[in-house]
Amino acid sequence: MKCLIENFHNSSDMSREQLLVITERYWPDGSGGELATHLIIDILRKEKALEITVITGSRNPMRLPDVRYIYEPLLSVEGKPLLWLNVSRLIRRGEFRKILQESDIVYVPGFMFPIIPYAKNMGKRVIVHLHGYAPISYTAVILAPYEEHKHKITHDDIRLECMMDAKHCISVSLLWWLPMLIKKWVSQADKIICVSKRQADIITDLVPELAGKIKIIYNPLPSELMNANINKEIDDVPTFLYTGGDAYVKGFHIVASIIRRWRSKARFILTKISNREVANTLSRLSDESKKIEVYPKLSRAEFIKLYSRSWAFLFPSIFEEPLPYAVIEAALSKVIPITFQVGGISEMVKGTFTENFITDVYNIKQFIEKMYFISSLSPSDIITLGDKIRNDILKKFNVETIKNNLIKEFL
């Protein structure tokens, strides 16, 4: 880190406001939150009044022009408790403290919340970007519907972690109180960005003192899909795409149940299935009428290619997804999303054609009915609907509005 820090001091233009982004992961590592951070920095870097430095635990971030990236191994550890212990080590380093001191704005888009009090003690403006529910949940996940789970969030956290393995189970059982500490750190921020009204409402319902600091700004659309010439390459076999891996909260158990029951001609494509036993079990569900394709983690290009082959996108997530990029990317790729009504999805699709393909959470019967309706259409019908869905999402997520709202918070 030392030579990179020296380079920071040698090349910084102190006539411009210095924005320090500190995040444990950076795109292409991570998922929707990291992608959003990358897209936001891409917007901000074009502002002449800002000079941006990113300190991250990702060794090979997707670098943007005119942005300085510093790799910090202390931020590459797994697990929030160890990550936060490393923050105390990082802050004791003179070279890091100098970067912090010379910054004007500190942007925290991940879980680096312990840095907030140090930044505030130095008189810095701090902006926190919440892509989950960290101030109220150890896992940053709230099961849907929130109204039925608001009084058992700790219980849900323990159950979800224990479903993973014994190590996670022990950690959450000992550290269930961490959201109270996060709430204390986040409350010191000058501004808190939430990505949907539903997310903001859930957080402020339990932490009302944050309400005055929260600003709702939708995440930017991925430019590679927004500006692309999308060509559908579908055949006459209804093809359903699911990208949530074998995660319980993403509704994998629901998708597996639907596949077992499915009796019509169809193709199911499932991605991010890394467990070989799970992949083999799914593959054995193939028969004469339904075909199953199972993939592990794919490259971005391979992933987008699957959208071009798909008729519909299955999104039976059972938690309050703040603003799922997966649904946005499907719509931009002219794939019809079939989703549960969770998190920010309702406000994403309100007034659009996609609203017809939302069902109440856990209403599997209705979810399957939507799938059968899609499978009854012709390929040309699917292409026509896909065009409409893409146009709807482009209108809903106005690029200039999102850009101006972001710039207003940082400048």
Rounded distance between C-alpha atoms, residue 176 and residue 155, angstroms? 9
For residue 159, the enclosing domain spans: 2-222+399-410
- How far is residue 94 from each of residues 98, 102, 120, 172, 372, measured CA to CA in Å? 6, 12, 17, 33, 62
- Quick one: 1 exposed, middle or buried, by C-beta within 10 A (0-12, 13-18, 19+)? middle
Predicted local confidence at residue 320, as pLDDT: 98
249 in the same domain as 388? yes
Q: Which string of b and e fits 225-246 if b means at least 16 CB within 10 Å?
A: bbeeeeebebeeebbbbbbbbb
Determine the pLDDT at residue 81: 87
pLDDT exceeds 60 at position 7: no
CATH number for the domain that contains residue 241: 3.40.50.2000
pLDDT of residue 13: 63
How does pLDDT run across 381-409, given as a tens digit for each residue?
Answer: 999 999 999 999 999 999 999 999 999 99
- Give, as one character, the DSSP assignment of residue 220: P
pTM (two decimals): 0.93
What the block records as the tokens of 93 is 């380093």
Q: Check residue 80 and give its pLDDT.
A: 87
- Over residues 147-168, the pLDDT tens digits come to 999 999 999 998 998 887 777 7
Nearest to 306 by CA among 336, 332, 270: 270
Q: Which of 112-116, 215-219, 281-285 has the lowest mean pLDDT?
A: 281-285
* 299 and 171 in a common domain: no
Are 213 and 255 members of one domain?
no
Non-local (6+) Cβ contacts of 269 within 8 A are: 239, 240, 241, 242, 293, 295, 306, 309, 310
Which of 9-13, 47-51, 248-252, 275-279 has the weakest average pLDDT? 9-13
Q: Residue 268, SS3?
A: strand
Residue 14 CB burial class (10 angstroms; 0-12, 13-18, ≥19): exposed
Model confidence over 111-131: pLDDT tens digits?
999 999 999 999 999 999 999
Q: What is the mean pLDDT of residues 313-332?
A: 97
Same domain, 209 and 262: no
* pLDDT value, residue 8: 52
Q: What is the percent of the chain with per-residue pLDDT over 90, rounded to a whole number? A: 83
Query: 317 and 295, same structural domain?
Result: yes
Mean pLDDT of 251-271: 96
Q: How far apart, in whole angstroms, are the C-alpha atoms of residue 317 and residue 340?
A: 6
By CB neighbour count within 10 A (0-12 exposed, 13-18 middle, 19+ buried), where does 287 fall? Answer: exposed
pLDDT-based confidence at residue 6 (cuts at 50, 70, 90)? very low
Mean pLDDT of 84-88: 92
Task: Let me know if 280 is exposed, middle or buried by CB neighbors in 10 A (0-12, 13-18, 19+).
Answer: exposed
Q: Identify whether residues 179 and 200 lie together within a single domain.
A: yes
Mean pLDDT along residues 8-22: 76
- Residue 313 is predicted with a pLDDT of 98
Supply the pLDDT for residue 11.
56
Q: pLDDT exceeding 70 applies to what percent of the chain?
A: 96
pLDDT at 14: 62
User: 45-58 pLDDT, tens per residue?
Assistant: 999 899 999 999 99
Higher pLDDT, 13 or 165: 165
76 and 100 housed in the same domain: yes
Q: Mean pLDDT, to the nearest integer, of 85-97?
A: 94
d(CA 116, CA 124): 9
Q: What are phi and psi of 258, to 5 degrees?
A: -65, -45
What does the pLDDT average to over 240-253? Answer: 97
Q: Which residues pair with 71 in a beta bridge?
A: 56
* Domain identity same for 171 and 211: yes
Rounded to the nearest integer, the mean pLDDT of the chain is 93
Number of domains in the chain: 2
> Is 274 in the same domain as 317?
yes
Instruction: Give CA–CA dist 24/76, Å, rounded.
Output: 6
The H-or-E segment that residue 359 falls in is: strand 358-359
If asked whether residues 244 and 173 sit together in one domain, one would say: no
Quickly state the pLDDT bin for 332 (edges 50, 70, 90): very high
Please tell me whether residues 72 and 113 are part of one structural domain. Answer: yes
The helix/strand/coil state of 132 is: coil
H or E segment to which residue 206 belongs:
helix 197-206
Asked if residue 191 and residue 264 are part of one domain, the reply reads no
pLDDT at 4 over 70: no
Helices (H), 76-196: 80-91, 94-102, 115-121, 146-149, 153-162, 166-175, 178-186
The mean-pLDDT minimum among 42-56, 66-80, 290-304 falls in: 290-304
Which is nearest to 281 in space by CA: 246, 308, 309, 307?
246
Max Cα–Cα distance, the chain, nearest Å: 68
Q: How confident is the model at residue 178 (pLDDT cuts 50, 70, 90)?
A: confident
Report the range of poorest mean pLDDT among 13-17, 100-104, 270-274. 13-17
Average pLDDT over residues 241-267: 96
- pLDDT over 90 (residue 102): yes
